[in-house]
Amino acid sequence: MEVEVLEQADQAAFLWLNGWVGRFPSLDNVVRLLASDYLVPLLLALTLLGLWFTGPTLLARTRNQHGVMAAVVALALASLVVEVISDVMFRPRPFATLDVSLLFYRPTDSSFPAHIAAIGFAVAIAVLLWNRRAGAALVALAALYSLSRVYAGVLYPLDIVGGAAIGVAGGLAATLLLRRFRPIPAFVLRVARALYLA
């Protein structure tokens, strides 16, 4: 019974947000851009690249580089968990069962958990634990990216919550791993600096 109530609330929240499509064409255009497969992933990648090479001091740059390494590990962990869950439990996309206004193509993979939320929040939380300002910006970007996919008609809100939880756990786990096995990131940085790549 509780599961049914949760699903009904999830559908109601989805239909409310997706119901705004078409009312404000300029907002729809912004969401199309945000929800695309390219803009936010490119911004995440460029932010990580920028963090790798910047920092006002050597210590700050080293912290940024640890954040980037944690983000890469977190992204891998989150993607793996999403893949496993999607193989075990398939949830149809909203457009497969509801009358929705689509601003996006029709993905064929499982709606739950949202892969884009998992990777966005994995990267954001991993960076946040090493650089608060950059991490906070990435958390906001991951949230906007996730919300845009609900608005665009391809994910339910609970898909985002599930993906975000996996991403947060991935970011925390990656940071703990890097701190637990300090010689590995230290070695990576030594090699990168010797090759003028850090």
Q: What is the CATH number of the domain that holds 120?
A: 1.20.144.10
Containing domain of residue 16, as a range?
A: 2-194
Please report which helix (H) or strand (E) contains residue 3, including its range. Answer: helix 2-18
Q: pLDDT at position 14, please?
A: 96
Q: Position of tokens 């990435």?
A: 138
How confident is residue 79, by pLDDT bands cut at 50, 70 and 90? very high
Residues 173-198: tens digit of each pLDDT: 999 999 999 999 999 999 999 998 98
Residues 115-133: tens digit of each pLDDT: 999 999 999 999 999 999 9
What is the C-alpha separation between 75 and 62, in angstroms, rounded? 20
| Number of Cβ within a 10 Å radius of residue 140 | 11
The pTM of this model reads 0.94
pLDDT > 80? residue 62: yes
Number of domains in the chain: 1
